[in-house]
Chains A and B, each alone.
Chain A
């Protein structure tokens, strides 16, 4: 009796989680996987095949976009890490009391607005008739309006900005737990700033670094609005291709195949990243 009650409550507790996993994660992905292997022979007949995947590898535009998206996402993740580390260091180690809360809030505030609004904010700054362009003209550094949008730099700026918080939070958490004495011991035994950073701080912060990188990388790889708004129509982000297949061309089979490939790409890169940093997913996700 007792055990059946506790079993029932366990199931009740698990239900939302199971529904979430099965309905929103597992089923759509299985469905997508199935669709990606369907080949439309005519308007009412379907066959199984790998035509969509063959398309991907033969059509250079597909896989070039694919590689470009992967490389730029990796670069964005790295850049986010480089920018977020000093911020996290400051918040976790140097700021005290109220200042600390305010700094954290400052990182959080942009995320109260939607990605769309944030991205338009950047567009206001960077566009031809935007703030930075007119300042440059006022200062005499440029004699005509400067267009800073619609290139890769603009895309990366927008993506780094979007990912920053997700890198700062895990870094602050791990750096917060770093014992000041460890850093001091690093100096005491003869290490300079660089050595202490490389030998003591970074190994300690590794779980935070890796988990931040995974989150930022996934977000970047799967982002759609920022590349399209800041990079323009030709920004060639892989999610755009998926969107085009699904919505514009109504080619669900091809869209599904590209979606599966994106999932495989992100999984492989995360796995390689974990391998290279010697971390395990369990350790990183705590």
Chain B
């Protein structure tokens, strides 16, 4: 085991009555990084996290934390702490006692304990709230207390189980940024699980996209967005348009595809199992779809689409259009408001740079 790796797992398997909730997952988290596991609900991410915390045992595979094998170490002896989905602050204790609980278990003397509680509360931006009851705090404050309760113990690894899920949107956006800053400030390795791709993208150094108990792809957020390794990642991470067609020809990096309405378009090949004549899916990001007037770049592919509606959402405004084969497509509108107003049912030409579109073999 490399010594700069805080967490490494090899071939983890956890089965529940025959069904593998976690299926041969291996991962390696370098020290001091923010690692997210992103997946839809039921993909096994919570099971994986519970195994890391020690609440569940893998049927196969090993968990190493800083090179130490953890499989048979009970949760209270692991250098790992967890922020629970619903925070699990002890309602019968004050904020100070909640944070002091772990320190008390480490036999830290009272005076030192007081000092460290005050320190950590200061660090998470809640100075002087020791005497409050958790019930008296707002959602965001409780969040910070839950973090402080773990961080005060200086764990090697902090596990976070979708802790932002219960917050309202505005606060969630704020906490996302704050969590990232706190992670940097404390230098603790975070393992964060979420089904919200925006949370994972904003905060993480590395994101693992999980599906049916396996990792589809592990990459930094930008790579995940720009170079998805599987059609699932392409569809799950960020918005994407999917258009189906038949593969006609392969020209170097690019594939030529005949859409269901007969038009020929091109996109970059993203998987190596493509066969000429087979079904393929073409993924294009909304921001890569250009509403083409007459000034059309000759290298671009394009298709005609019928405007359904304009969805105004500030910088994220889009048009909804219906393309070949009744596909619903979304195209990002220019952010400077220079887009013309579209009439419903007007026909426009949507074009894209083939290098920005991804072609995968269609899933059957």
Query: Which residue in chain B gives the minimum CB-CB distance to A203?
Result: B92
Q: A199 with B101: in contact, given A184-B84, A190-B153 (CB under 8 Å)? A: yes
Q: Distance (Å) between the CB of B160 and the closest chain A CB? A: 12
Q: Is the CB of A187 within 8 A of B105?
A: no
Whether A192 contacts B55 by the Cβ 8 Å rule is: no
Chain B, residue nearest A200 (CB): B90
A188, CB-defined interface residue at 8 Å: yes
Question: When the two chains form their complex, are residues B55 and A189 in contact, meaning their CB atoms are under 8 A apart?
Answer: no
| Shortest distance from the beta carbon of B245 to any chain A beta carbon, whole Å | 48
A188 and B105 in contact, given A179-B86, A181-B88, A203-B92 (Cβ under 8 angstroms): no
A142 at interface by CB-CB < 8 Å: no
Chain B: residues with Cβ within 8 Å of the partner, total of 25
Q: In angstroms, how far is the closest chain A Cβ from the Cβ of B363?
A: 36
Q: Is the C-beta of A95 less than 8 angstroms from some C-beta in chain B?
A: no
- Asked if A46 is at the interface (CB within 8 A of a chain B CB), the reply is no
Tell me if A191 is interfacial: C-beta within 8 Å of chain B.
yes
Minimum CB–CB distance for B163 against chain A, Å? 12
Contact A184 B75 (CB under 8 A): yes
**Which residues of chain A are within 8 angstroms of B90 by Cβ–Cβ distance?**
182, 185-186, 199-200, 203
A190 touching B82, Cβ below 8 Å? no
The CA of A182 and the CA of B77, in the complex, are separated in Å by 17
CB distance from B255 to the nearest CB of A (A): 49
A53 close to chain B: CB less than 8 A = no
A154 to B337, CA, bound (A): 89
Identify the closest chain B residue to A195 (Cβ). B105
Is B74 close to A, CB under 8 A? Answer: yes
A199 to B101, CA, bound (A): 9
B76 within 8 A of A: yes
Interfacial chain B residues near A203, Cβ < 8 Å: 90, 92-93
By beta carbon, the residue of chain A nearest B106 is A190
Give, as a whole number of angstroms, the nearest-CB distance from B346 to chain A: 53
Contact A179 B101 (CB under 8 A): no
User: Does B350 sit at the interface, judged by CB under 8 A?
Assistant: no
Residues of A within 8 A of B74 (CB): 187
Q: In the complex the two chains form, is A189's CB within 8 Å of B86's CB? A: no
How far does the alpha carbon of A227 sit from the alpha carbon of B107 in the complex, in Å?
Answer: 48
| CB–CB A204/B91 < 8 A | yes
In chain A between 27 and 86, which residues have their CB closer than 8 angstroms to a CB of chain B?
A: none
Interchain CB contact under 8 A, B153 and A189: yes
A199 to B100, CA, bound (A): 12
Contact indicator A182/B75 (Cβ below 8 Å): no
**A188 partner, pick from B53, B85, B92, beta carbons under 8 A:** B53
**B50 and chain A: residue at smallest CB distance:** A184
Q: Is the CB of B81 within 8 A of A189?
A: yes
Q: Which chain A positions have C-beta within 8 A of B93?
A: 199, 203
Cβ-defined contact, A179 with B88, below 8 A: yes
For chain A, which range describes its interface: under 10, 10 to 19, 20 to 34, or 35 or more residues? 10 to 19
A190 to B75: give the CA distance in the assembly, Å. 7
Q: Using Cβ atoms and an 8 Å threshold, which residues of chain A touch B53?
A: 184, 188
* B102 close to chain A: CB less than 8 A: yes
Residue pair B88, A185 in contact (C-beta under 8 Å): yes
Residues of A within 8 A of B153 (CB): 189-190
Interface residues of B in 51-71 (CB under 8 A from A): 53-55
Task: Map CB proximity to A onto B5-19 as digits: 1 under 8 Å, 0 otherwise.
Answer: 000000000000000
Per-residue 0/1 for A197-227: is the Cβ within 8 Å of any B Cβ (1 yes, 0 no)?
A: 0011001101000000000000000000000
| Binary contact readout B138-157 vs A (1 if CB under 8 angstroms, 0 otherwise) | 00000000000110010000
**Contact yes or no, B92 A181, CB < 8 A:** no
B260 to A: closest C-beta gap in Å: 49
State in angstroms the CA–CA spacing of A265 and B149 once bound together. 45
Minimum CB–CB distance from B174 to chain A (whole Å) comes to: 24
Q: What is the minimal beta-carbon distance from B259 to any residue of chain A, in angstroms?
A: 50
A199 — nearest CB in chain B belongs to which residue?
B101
Task: Please name the residue on chain A nearest to B53 by beta carbon.
Answer: A188
A188 to B55, CA, bound (A): 9
Q: Which residues of A contact B105 (CB under 8 A)?
A: 189-191, 195
Q: How far is the CA of A204 from the CA of B89 in the complex (A)?
A: 12
Contact A188 B101 (CB under 8 A): no
Contact between A184 and B88 (Cβ–Cβ < 8 Å)? yes
> Do B76 and A188 have beta carbons less than 8 Å apart?
yes
- A188, B82: Cβ atoms under 8 Å? yes
- Contact partners of A182 in chain B: CB under 8 A: 88, 90-91
Given contacts A182-B91, A184-B75, A190-B105, 6 further A-B contacts (CB under 8 A): A184-B82, A185-B84, A189-B81, A189-B101, A190-B106, A204-B92
CB-based closest 7 A-B pairs: A190-B105, A203-B92, A189-B102, A181-B88, A185-B88, A187-B75, A181-B84
Chosen A-B contacts, 27 in total, with CB atoms closer than 8 Å, are A179-B88, A181-B88, A182-B90, A184-B82, A185-B82, A187-B54, A187-B75, A188-B55, A188-B75, A188-B76, A188-B80, A188-B81, A188-B82, A189-B76, A189-B81, A189-B101, A189-B102, A189-B105, A190-B102, A190-B105, A190-B106, A190-B153, A191-B105, A192-B76, A199-B93, A203-B90, A204-B91
